[in-house]
Structure 1
Amino acid sequence: MKRFLTIIALCSLVSIEGLAQVGTTGRLEEEAEIVIRKDRKIVLPPATRNFEKIPQLPVSGAVTKQEYQFRRFQYNLSPLEPSFRTANYRSSQPAANFTSNYVRAGYGNYGTPYFEGYIGSPKSQDYIVNLYVRHLSSQRGPIFDENSASGRTEAAVGGKFFNGVNTVSGSLNYTGQKVHFFGYNPVLDLTSDAIEQKFTRFSANVGVQKTERDEQLNYSFETDWVFFRDALEAKENKFDFDVAGDYQLSEELSLSLEAIAVLSKRSEGAVEANRNYLSLQPRVNYAGDKFALKAGINFAGDNDSGNGMSLYPVVEGSVNVDAGLRVYAGYEGFLTMNTLESSIDQNPFLRPGFDLRNTETESNIYGGVEIDLSKGLRLNAGGSLASLNNLQLFTNAVSDSSRFEILYDPGTVDRLNIFSEVNFEKAGEVRSSLRFDFYNYDLSTTAANLEEAWHLPSFKAAFNNTFFPIENLTVTADLYYMGGLNAWNGETAQKFELDDIVDLNLGGKYNLNQQFGVFLQLNNLFGSEYQRNLNYPSRGIQFLGGISVSF
């Protein structure tokens, strides 16, 4: 390198000296001398070098907003019930003006008064206290006027306290419901009081859970004390305890455990029965970028069957094929506790002293696929094959066809379920969900009174939509379908094929301003007095309108 620089320097000097001797003619003079000096040193300044690292450009982290939807699908198709909930859609209202306190009142046909109200404490980082009340009743029904009246009243007071680490919650709840056994023979002359049935439920709830769920250990505890009564001397006291926790071993691996214990006592007159239930559900969970696996056991049992505790294996795996495709499959078994209250929720026209057993799922093999078809459009489809013991089947009682009893297949019932669901949402414009289910039941007995899975449908479909066509207007449209219903009348020993159920409901709410609004709900627009339960037709076209006030 030094030689190279020296040669360049010498050449430069020669050029400079030579040019100095050039005359005006551009030619060297004859007596010009060229001097080459070998002793001259060329000194170059040191090169500037930067040893600092090139700084990285700042990375802007994109925040992904998680949105959750909670939808309620009412397959039992109970009488008219407004579908609006606490939070109102207000696309242009600033957050500072939003209030959750409201009162709604209205009136509909069949003599139907409606009232609903919610009052919450002012915004606070330390606590929340609220009060909720709701009443909906109809003075007349589809037949026999007041003999088919019904009503429901709910009230709850609750609160939550935040101390930075834990959230402590509690509530006191009351529910009162009234129905009539109006499925009697029309030739009978019965009074409303003679066939009236009332249900009363008081409960107290206390819970503790970790406020922030972003650390290694998370936990929760909840207990419910429930006191349930009817007008026919049936009582049920129930104490539920639910403890859950999970521990994060690594970014992908975690352990979880849930323990559920239920102590209950059912009594009707002089007959009493203690019914206890216990379930332990330990899990090992792995969640990777492409693959997820959950494995564990369900250790469950009761004191009803005399079989004690049983072990049911649980395993589920899923693969994310790409960003918009997930495939999953699993196997599990479990024991479901059926109570007096849960059975009446399915059918409020049960006779006194009906047989009550827990339902065991010996095995359930399931699988499916979830696909993001496009932005906001998602498909979920799959199926399951389950083996069930003590599946509840509702039939009209032998002694009185206006009351129902519960029958159980002495063997195992195999149930096939194939389903598909499509969800679509475009923020601020529409939310839509369409689900279809097909069921097939294979009973083990050939007895006439257990020939079919009574009052269980073969087909179910629900199409739920919420639209926001203009500012301050919310419109709902729900379509329900249920087919393949069969019933058994124990009093006449006859089988009946019930007509398919098609129920269309429309609703709308318009906010006149920030405080006042009006609403209208239309149910069963086809006017079909379908029978979800044999001898119990539903009301025809129902409408309910009213006003709402927010404050």
Structure 2
Amino acid sequence: MNTLKINQQKTFFLAAIAAASLLPGSKANAQETLKQETIDIISTNQPKLRDAYKLNLTASLPSVDTSRPVLKYQIPALNLNFMYQATPLKPLALGRDSLGNLQNNFVKLGYGNLQTPYVQAGFGSGRHENYNYGLYVNYTGSKDQDLEDKKYSNLNVLASGTYLTEKLKFDASLGYDRNTVHYYGYNHDTASFKTSDLAQTFNQVTAAVGVENRPQNDWAFTFKPDVKFILFNDSYKRTENTFQFKIPIRKQVFEDIYVGAEGVFDLSTYKVDNGKAINNNIVAIHPAVDIIKPGFVLHAGVNPTWSNGQFKLLPDIVNESHLIKKKLILSSGWISYFEKNSYRNLANKNPFLAGLADDMLNTRVEEKYTGIKGTLGSHFNYNTKFAAVTWYDQPLFINDTLDSKRFITVNETMLRAFQLHAEIGYIEEEKFQVRVSFDWYNYNKQEKEVKPWHLAPFQGDLFAQYTIGRKFHLKADLFALSGSYYLLPNKDFDKTSSAWDLNAGASYDIGKNFGLWVNANNIFNSHYQRYYLYPTYGFNIVGGVMIKF
């Protein structure tokens, strides 16, 4: 509640009366006495804002105009005159193949210090859409200057060809191999023999035919059967005929799963002049499933095998897992397989063999292994493996007690060993590469024999190759071989010496069609014995010319 009192002053009222007397019709009484008045105003003051007026707006989309507008264009015609008149389009003929002509033929000739002739030649058909064929010939030999009977020669001839159709690929080959050695492993001071009594010549004729389908994509069904006939004989009228038939098939069933199987028939018959025939047959079926994923590979299968009438169910399991993609791969497996001890296979291992034993069995090998492999950077690669290996019915070579310069085989029923394999390599395109590898076997148990005769526990290899200016090529190969045990006629045993063997070679291209080459073997001139009483050839060097056309 606020109270306001106003007192009108005297001067204010006098001014008001004077103004009123001047108005027309007004009556003035100058002598009238002025009165003082007091006015009291009492009121209640409550300030209040006026209510605001609010607008209520409701948003809505405009209606859709579904009518199709009619647009009309009027483009004035322009008449332009060009001085240049374009020529009409015409298809052009394809240019000629930019690839140059292949040098399908070559002849390599040379001669060495151990009366070593060297002839090698190859002839090919060149590029053809539906077929190709070729012929290869090789001949070499050596004769030691100190021992007249220490000599050998080797001849190889191979003709092969391929014919292609839209859906099939046919392969055929015919080869002949002739390898002559001499039994020089005897005391030349106390004994002598005619050359004809020491010469041993192995002849082999091989004919093979195969067919393979050409699938249009990875999901297609693939098969590749092949048939091979092998005729093998020697100078002592020992003959062995072999028939081999393999038919592998494979099919992709899912994005990363493949199924396949392989049937194997390996039938051999060994005969001696006026002797009985010995049959050695292996029949096997290899079904398997392959799972191939990024960073993971699994091969799982079994190998039911019949060897000389005996049945074995063999494991076939291999796995690779990428711990670090491509850099660290864990590889492991459990596999088992048969090595056929035919006369041809054993003679290739030891050419001084005196025939095949009547009770010879095929060797069953079982491996359980694990290891790591991979790449380091863009140039290095490595591979390691540690395995427990068991050989059942392993043939071992011992000197014949009646004729020590020839070898016979004895059957070791079970031989066990731990194996360590390691290799590492460096590759820089085609310019430089180097690789070192070794295999070490710790033979720890034999059931029948005292020692693993003529089995070397350690073998190593260091290989290097370097190219200078794309014309000058250098290479070197260093081998390391540990000694092996051999049996003496008195039933005692001894061990051969370990050895180092260095080979080196060089070649230089003179233009496009000619080149020079030289190879030096056994640079250390070490006469080590891979088999007892048979020292190797010493230092030898062979050089010559290469012609390409």
Q: Specify if TM > 0.5.
A: yes
Distance (Å, rounded) in 2 between the aligned partners of 1:121 and 1:405: 45
Deviations 1:455-502 (CA, angstroms, capped at 9, x unpaired): 11111101112211223111110011111422113x343312111121
Residue equivalent to 1:501: 499
CA 1:352 to 1:314, structure 2 compared with 1: closer, same or farther past 3 Å?
A: closer
Aligned-partner residue type, residue 317 of structure 2: V
* Residue 406 (structure 1) shift: 1.0
Does structure 1 residue 178 correspond to structure 2 residue 180?
yes
Give percent identity, aligned residues only. Answer: 25
1:126–1:161 contact (8 Å) kept in structure 2: yes
In the aligned structure 1, how far is the partner of 2:215 from the partner of 2:483? Answer: 47
Q: 2:135 aligns with which of 106, 131, 138?
A: 131
Q: Kindly state the Cα deviation for residue 213 of structure 1 after the two structures are TM-superposed.
A: 7.3
Q: Report the CA distance between 1:451 and its aligned residue.
A: 1.6
Task: Name the CA distance, whole Å, in 2 between partners of 1:95 and 1:353.
Answer: 53
Is 1:405 aligned to residue 385 of structure 2? no
Indicate if the aligned counterparts of 1:443 and 1:453 stay in contact, CA closer than 8 A: no
Q: How does 1:370-519 map to 2 (within 5 A)?
A: 370-410=373-413, 412-445=414-447, 450-489=449-488, 491-519=489-517
Distance across 1 between alignment mates of 2:405 and 2:490: 12
Aligned pairs (5 A) from 1:162-311: 162-186=164-188, 187-212=190-215, 214-216=217-219, 217-269=221-273, 270-303=275-308, 306=309, 308-311=310-313
User: Aligned pair in 2 of structure 1 residues 492, 185: CA closer, same or farther (>3 Å)?
Assistant: farther
Q: Would you say the 8 A contact 1:162–1:211 is kept in 2?
A: no
Instruction: Name the counterpart of 1:35.
Output: none
SS in 1 for 2:254: coil
Shift of 1:205: 0.6
Task: Provide the C-alpha distance between the structure 1 equivalents of 2:229 and 2:185, rounded to a whole number of angstroms.
Answer: 34
Q: Does the aligned pair in 2 maintain the 1:519–1:546 contact within 8 Å? A: yes
SS in 1 for 2:361: coil
Q: Given that residues 343 and 356 in structure 2 are in contact (C-alpha distance below 8 angstroms), is that contact kept between their aligned partners in structure 1?
A: no
1:388-439, CA deviations, whole angstroms, 9 ceiling, x for partnerless residues? 11112111112111000111223x2112110111021101311222101110
- In structure 2, C-alpha distance between the alignment counterparts of 1:540 and 1:239, rounded to whole Å: 39
CA separation of 1:419 and 1:510: change in aligned 2, threshold 3 A: same
Q: Compared with structure 1, are the counterparts of its residues 95 and 144 closer, same or farther at alpha carbon in structure 2 (3 Å cutoff)?
A: same
CA contact (8 A) 1:428 1:468 kept: yes
1: CA distance, partners of 2:331 / 2:145: 46
Q: Distance in 1 between matches of 2:163 and 2:102?
A: 22
Residue identity matched to 1:498 = T
Matched, 1:525 2:523: yes
In structure 1, distance between residues paired with 2:295 and 2:427: 26
How far apart are the structure 2 equivalents of 1:315 and 1:189? Answer: 55
Measured in 2, the distance between the counterparts of 1:455 and 1:310 equals 28
From 335, 342, 351, the equivalent of 1:348 is: 351
How far the C-alpha of 1:141 sits from its partner, in A, is 2.4
CA distance in 1, matches of 2:216, 2:349: 35
**Contact residue 166 and residue 211 of structure 1 kept, 8 A:** yes
Unaligned runs of 5+ in 2: 1-61, 65-97
Q: RMSD over aligned Cα, in angstroms?
A: 2.0
3-state SS of the aligned residue for 2:516?
strand
Tell me, in whole angstroms, the C-alpha distance in 2 between the residues paired with 1:394 and 1:95: 53
Paired with 2:236 and 2:445, the residues of 1 have a C-alpha distance of 33
CA contact (8 A) 2:446 2:452 kept: no
> Cα offset for 1:95?
4.9
C-alpha deviation, 1:212, in angstroms: 4.6
Counterpart residue number, 1:78: none
Give the number of aligned pairs.
452
Partners of 1:463 and 1:480 within 8 A in 2: yes
The residue type paired with residue 523 of structure 2 is L
Q: Which of 83, 95, 102 pairs up with 2:106?
A: 102
Deviation track 1:345-401 (CA, whole Å, cap 9, x = no partner) reads 00000113435320012x321111013122110111121102211112111112111
In structure 2, the CA distance between the partners of 1:456 and 1:351, relative to structure 1 (3 Å rule), is same
Structure possessing the higher radius of gyration over alpha carbons: 2
AA aligned opposite 1:344: A
| TM-score, normalised with respect to structure 2 | 0.79
Contact 1:337 1:358 survives alignment (8 Å): yes
Cα shift readout 1:301-348 (whole Å, capped 9, x = no counterpart): 222xx4x22111222222111222110111122222121111000000
Tell me the distance in 2 between the aligned counterparts of 1:100 and 1:211. 26
Instruction: Specify which of 150, 153, 173 is matched with residue 151 of structure 1.
Output: 153
Residues 142 and 537, structure 1, Cα contact 8 Å, conserved in 2: no
Higher relative contact order (CA 8 A, sep 6+): 1
Structure 1 distance, partners of 2:287, 2:387, is 23
Partner residue of 2:533 out of 532, 535, 550: 535
Residue identity opposite 2:236 in structure 1:
L
Q: Structure 1, unaligned stretches of length 5 or more?
A: 1-43, 47-93
Q: What amino acid sits opposite 1:175 in the alignment?
A: D
Q: Distance in 2 between matches of 1:422 and 1:353?
A: 39
TM-score (norm 1): 0.79
Structure 1: which amino acid aligns with 2:291?
Answer: Y
**CA distance in structure 2 between the partners assigned to 1:213 and 1:477 by the alignment:** 43
